[in-house]
Each structure stands twice: as structure tokens, then as C-alpha cells.
């Protein structure tokens, strides 16, 4: 991803200490002022001064961060905070405390306020804030887009106490997105960290002439604010929102590429993740990496006991998602489970279940 010369430059900049300005060091010899005695009165004795051997300081997750930097470069946004030593030392500390994630729970949101399936899948801003606060209070790591790639491909270790927050977005998100940005900023000030969301944009009816919701470029402006906040990584929820299980590879790929072009034209990023409409993963999904798409979310794509994103996942283009708890505190998928129970199942029961 990205042009190799740019990546090499950025990697060099990153490993040299991103964000720090270089300090010029003079190579001219020091000027020694003359003294009264110009000729020594005795023959000087040769002495040997040992030179300490340089000690290499290990960069935490150095190789992994280099790969993440390449993904960021191809995407078009360099998030230096998520490449910093501080960020990765925190992740390392969480791994020491909780162990390495073998599988991670992915939650499927539709913003912070929705009511579907007669309340079987619902959220309010108050319930949403309560859940985000709980995750922060209990030291959860929020997986970003590049980190998800590393987890699914198997080259990045993440803490067992991790969660993937996904949200399917579009022109109906004009109320949710500003609230989610504001809440994330508030939580970051309180906790020092904030949630991170993988937002998949349904690009149809996002233009000025396509929807009254989007006059004066309001819709794309809202997504630009979300991008600039740093709390969101973006993917596509397709252009048509059709049933891709019924589409040919050619038609489906054209739809996805059109959506990606619209996102790039309006946000300046090149997306590499998908959320399938109606959670229907097409038979031809494994051909998509050749076009730059490297992961995709379906829904109930595994049995409920295995509905998680695994390290080295063999279902990278149809990853499962569960529903976050409704305002009553229990989820509609899996029915009746609380957030604590779903997260506990992901962390504690892995050894009891066969790998997918």
C-alpha cells in the first residue's frame, strides 16, 4: 500500500523519533585558547580511554508498527499518536496483565440511537455512553483498522482485553456522529484514552442533490469532522446497499469501487474494509484482496459460540459481529447476554472451543 519511496521515508522518520525535531550538531573541532606554556616540559604518557559499546534500545512493537505505518500511508492518514512509544507501551502493559487475544468480540452499532426489530436491536445515547464508560473503566483496548488487519493476518499481538467497535453509517448518521465525537473527546479528557470506531459508510444519497439530509455538503462535512477527530477509521458499506449474496462478482466489485471512489473524493482516504449490507457475504468475497479490500464484516457468520474475530482468521472477508446490549442491558445476539458475559466468553472460553 502506498508508494515505496514515501513509505521508506516515513519509516525512517518514524524510527528516528516521530514528531521530534532534529537538532543540528557541529562537526568542526573545538577551538582551544592558547596558554602561557606552548612546549611541554616532559614527555606525555599515553593513556587509553575505553569507549562504551552502544546499546541498542528495543522499539516496542517496532516491526509491527512499521507495517501499520505502511497501511496508514496507503489509507492516507498518518495517526502518529497510534504509532507512538507511549501508545504501544500501554498495549504491551495490557498484554502483560491480561494475556494475548486469540479472538476478539466485534460489536455492530448503527450510531448511538436506533430502534430495530421491535426493540430486539436498540440503543440510546445514554446506554451508549454507559457502555463506553464501562469499557474504559475496565481497561479495554479499542482496535483500529490497521490493528485489525494485523490481528486477522496474524502478525500483531493485541491484549486479550480488546474490543472491536463497528458502526454502519450514512446520511442517517447526522445526529449520532456529532454526539459520538463529543462523547469520545470528553472520555479522552477523563481517562486519557478514547473509544475508536470502524465506521462503514453507505455512500448512496450522500450528495447535495441526493438527500435533504445532505444539503450544503452537510453529510460529508460531518464525516470529515469524524475523520479529523481521530476517533474513527473508515470503510465502505457499499454504494447500493443491495444484497451482495445475489450479485455477480463484476457487479459487486463495480459497486464497491464506486463507493471507495466517492469516499476518497470526499474524505481523501482509500478504504480497505467492508461491512456487507444485510450481513450477506458473497461467494466471491475471497477475490477482493486483489482489489485492495482486506477484511469485511458479515454478521452471524459462525455459530454463536465462535462469533468472534480470530487471530489468523480464515473468514477475513466475512467476519462475525454480535449486537451490543440494548438499553435493558442484554443483547439480541446472542439473546439475553450482557456485555460482561459476551466479553468474558471471548476472553475466557477460547481454550474450551475448537479453533475455527
Per-residue pLDDT reduced to its tens digit, 298-325? 999 999 999 999 999 999 999 999 999 9
pTM of the model: 0.85
Using a 10 angstrom Cβ sphere, with 0-12 exposed, 13-18 middle and 19 or more buried, the burial of residue 98 is middle
Give all domains of the chain, ordered by start, each with its CATH number.
100-352 (3.20.20.370)
Predicted confidence band of residue 198 (pLDDT cuts 50, 70, 90) = very high
Q: Please, are residues 347 and 305 in contact by the beta-carbon 8 Å criterion? A: no
Cα(217)–Cα(225) distance, integer angstroms: 12
Q: Please, are residues 155 and 66 in contact by the beta-carbon 8 Å criterion? A: no
Reported in sequence order, the residue ranges of the chain that DSSP labels E, i.e. its strands, are 103-109, 114-116, 121-123, 141-142, 162-169, 197-201, 232-236, 273-275, 295-297, 309-310
Using a 10 angstrom Cβ sphere, with 0-12 exposed, 13-18 middle and 19 or more buried, the burial of residue 74 is middle
* Among 198, 193, 223, residue whose Cα is nearest residue 82: 193
Q: What is the predicted pLDDT for the residue at 350? A: 58
Q: How many CA atoms lie within 13 A of 141 on its CB side?
A: 28
| Per-residue cell: 234 | 473508515
Per-residue pLDDT reduced to its tens digit, 259-301? 999 999 999 999 999 999 999 999 999 999 999 999 999 999 9
Amino acid at each position: 500500500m502506498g508508494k515505496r519511496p514515501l513509505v521508506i521515508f516515513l519509516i525512517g522518520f518514524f524510527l528516528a523519533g516521530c514528531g521530534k525535531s532534529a537538532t543540528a550538531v557541529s562537526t568542526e573541532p573545538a577551538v582551544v585558547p592558547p596558554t602561557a606554556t606552548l612546549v611541554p616540559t616532559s614527555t606525555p604518557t599515553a593513556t587509553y580511554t575505553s569507549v562504551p559499546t552502544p546499546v541498542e534500545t528495543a522499539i516496542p512493537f517496532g516491526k509491527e508498527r512499521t507495517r501499520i505505518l505502511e497501511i496508514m500511508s496507503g489509507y492516507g492518514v498518518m495517526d502518529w499518536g497510534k504509532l507512538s512509544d507511549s501508545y504501544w507501551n500501554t498495549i504491551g502493559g495490557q498484554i502483560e496483565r491480561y494475556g494475548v487475544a486469540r479472538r476478539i468480540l466485534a460489536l455492530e452499532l448503527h450510531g448511538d440511537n436506533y430502534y430495530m426489530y421491535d426493540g430486539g436491536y436498540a440503543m440510546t445515547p445514554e446506554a451508549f455512553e454507559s457502555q463506553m464508560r464501562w469499557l474504559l473503566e475496565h481497561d479495554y483496548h479499542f482496535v483500529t483498522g490497521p490493528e485489525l488487519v494485523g490481528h486477522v493476518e496474524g502478525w500483531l499481538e493485541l491484549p486479550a482485553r480488546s474490543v472491536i467497535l463497528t458502526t454502519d453509517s450514512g446520511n442517517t448518521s447526522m445526529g449520532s456522529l456529532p454526539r459520538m465525537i463529543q462523547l469520545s473527546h470528553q472520555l479522552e479528557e477523563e481517562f486519557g484514552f478514547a473509544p475508536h470506531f470502524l465506521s462503514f459508510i453507505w455512500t448512496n444519497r450522500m450528495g447535495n442533490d441526493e438527500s435533504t439530509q445532505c444539503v450544503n455538503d452537510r453529510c460529508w462535512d460531518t464525516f470529515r469532522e469524524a475523520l479529523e477527530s481521530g476517533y474513527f477509521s473508515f470503510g465502505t458499506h457499499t454504494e447500493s446497499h443491495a444484497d451482495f449474496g445475489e450479485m455477480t462478482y463484476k457487479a459487486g466489485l463495480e459497486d464497491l469501487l464506486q463507493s471507495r471512489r466517492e469516499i476518497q473524493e470526499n474524505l481523501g482516504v482509500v478504504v480497505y474494509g467492508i461491512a456487507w449490507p444485510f450481513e450477506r457475504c458473497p461467494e466471491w468475497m475471497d477475490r477482493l484482496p486483489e482489489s485492495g479490500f482486506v477484511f469485511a464484516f458479515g454478521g452471524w457468520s459462525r455459530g454463536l459460540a465462535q462469533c468472534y474475530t480470530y487471530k489468523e482468521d480464515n473468514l477475513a472477508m466475512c467476519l462475525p459481529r454480535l449486537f451490543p446490549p440494548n438499553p435493558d442491558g442484554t443483547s439480541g445476539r446472542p439473546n439475553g447476554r450482557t456485555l460482561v458475559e459476551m466479553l468474558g466468553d471471548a476472553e475466557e472460553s477460547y481454550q474450551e472451543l475448537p479453533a475455527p
